[in-house]
């Protein structure tokens, strides 16, 4: 079986609806970047499926995105833990950044 073999590099994508009141503002941006930095993979977000993509590990760049409540946040990650990274970000957004 292939279980236990090295997965190698992979790109994983997902999206989640921003349902928290402030959208991707200051505190949610910091939480998102802190979470993204826990993963070895490169992690990016966008507010359109085709980009432009923003480095999710950069607090300054993430705050510039200014996604509002009701917008869809697209995520993608490249690397050995890409699936875990994207899954964790989707979960954070779905939990409304633990703010409500």
Catalytic residue among 20, 23, 24, 25: 25
Supply 10's token pair.
Answer: 């992979």
Kindly report the number of other CB atoms within 10 A of residue 89's CB atom: 23
* CA-only gyration radius of the chain, Å: 13
Question: At a CB cut-off of 8 Å and minimum separation 6, what does 3 contact?
Answer: none
Active site residue 15: no
What would the two tokens of residue 54 be? 């923003």
Query: Residue 63 is encoded by which pair of tokens?
Result: 């705050």
Q: What angle do CA 85, 53, 81 make, to 5 degrees?
A: 20
Which residues are tagged catalytic? 25
């Amino acid at each position: 079986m292939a279980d236990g073999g090295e997965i190698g590099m992979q790109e994983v994508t997902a999206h989640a609806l921003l349902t928290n009141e402030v959208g991707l503002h200051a505190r949610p941006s910091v939480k998102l970047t802190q979470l993204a930095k826990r993963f070895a993979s490169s992690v990016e977000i966008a507010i359109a499926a085709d980009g432009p993509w923003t480095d999710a590990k950069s607090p300054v760049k993430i705050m510039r995105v200014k996604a509002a409540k009701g917008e869809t946040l697209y995520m993608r990650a490249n690397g050995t833990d890409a699936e875990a990274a994207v899954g964790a970000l989707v979960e954070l957004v779905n939990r409304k950044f633990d703010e409500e």
